[in-house]
Amino acid sequence: MSNEIIETFEDGIATLTMNRPEARNALTSDMLATLSEAAQRLALDPKVRLVVITGAGGAFCAGGDVKGFVARNADAGEPAEAPSFDARVNGLRHGMDLARILHDMPKPTLAVIPGPAAGAGLSIALACDMRIASDSAKLTTAFSKIGASGDYGGSYFLTHLVGPAKARELYFTADVISGAQAATLGIVNYAVPSDELAHEAGQLARKLAALPTVAIGYMKRNLGMAEHGTLTDVLDIEAIHMVRTMATDDHKAASLAFVEKRAPVFKGR
């Protein structure tokens, strides 16, 4: 595990913290590789009930390490044999699969945004199921400021969250919005004062980790189908998943708890 990513685990909650505070956690290739490996591993770990991604030093993630890109280009000059266009596309596409893993894994994912989230950093936050931010955090797509078009699924996620017209505005202009504005637009679920973020995020994380994990996984598949499928597609997949979840121990125990008027305790099976 790279020291640029800190991984912790407690009470079913796995937390991945981007740890380059001196660079507002700008992403390096090592960070992205480590995040992807960790996300894939945690998605399959039955002990993990929630994956949290956040940043150290009061920032979430400033996106790609633009200063690093410029410095490496200046130092390297023209390589003797540069990678082909297709090789560069395939390499980027492989790294971008992190967004799909965070979005599709069969357990909840939560982005905790204490401060700046820009470019690919914002895209990674948008890939998560839910987001909680400091109300003063600064969020921006950023890409147009450096003459780039965007990556890590941000255009997909933002369009689904705010609609095509607003997504185009935020991508074209790269305007900076606050966490409070992002909550009003529906980009984040909650915006709270900075000094309350740790407490509120902890409470939300524990709430999500206590949910029936198996059912949540199937809910995510239903909601994923609803993003691009027809009503018939959704009805079909809902029927399949409802029958499957009603056969779980969690459903049976929760049904009994409901009848007995007590709170259920979900085991994730």
The 3-state secondary structure of the chain, one letter per residue: CCCCEEEEEECCEEEEEECCHHHCCCECHHHHHHHHHHHHHHHHCCCCCEEEEEECCCCCECCECHHHHHHHHHHHCCCCCCCCHHHHHHHHHHHHHHHHHHHHCCCCEEEEECCCEECHHHHHHHHCCEEEEECCCEEECCHHHHCCCCCCCHHHHHHHHHCHHHHHHHHHHCCCEEHHHHHHHCCCCEEECHHHHHHHHHHHHHHHHCCCHHHHHHHHHHHHHHHHCCHHHHHHHHHHHHHHHCCCHHHHHHHHHHHCCCCCCCCCC
pLDDT in tens, 238-260: 888 888 888 888 888 888 887 88
pLDDT in tens, 19-57: 999 999 999 999 999 999 999 999 999 999 999 999 999
Residue 105's CB is within 10 A of a number of other CB atoms, namely: 20
pLDDT in tens, 208-223: 999 999 999 999 999 9
Lowest mean pLDDT among 1-5, 54-58, 64-68: 64-68
The reported pLDDT for the residue numbered 237 is 84
Least Cα distance to 101 among 51, 140, 142, 161 occurs for: 51
Q: Would you say residue 7 has pLDDT above 60? A: yes
The reported pLDDT for the residue numbered 257 is 84
Percent of the chain with pLDDT over 70: 94
5-209: which CATH number, 2.160.10.10, 3.20.20.70, 3.90.226.10, 3.40.50.10320?
3.90.226.10
Cα–Cα–Cα angle for 156, 158, 160, nearest 5°? 70
How far is 17 from 67, CA to CA, in rounded Å? 21
The mean per-residue pLDDT over the stretch 225-250 comes to 87
- How would residue 234 be classed by pLDDT, with cut points 50, 70 and 90? confident
pLDDT in tens, 158-209: 999 999 999 999 999 999 999 999 999 999 999 999 999 999 999 999 999 9
The reported pLDDT for the residue numbered 75 is 53
Q: pTM, whole model, 2 decimals? A: 0.90
The mean per-residue pLDDT over the stretch 76-89 comes to 74
Q: Would you say residue 108 has pLDDT above 70? A: yes
How far is 145 from 192, CA to CA, in rounded Å? 28
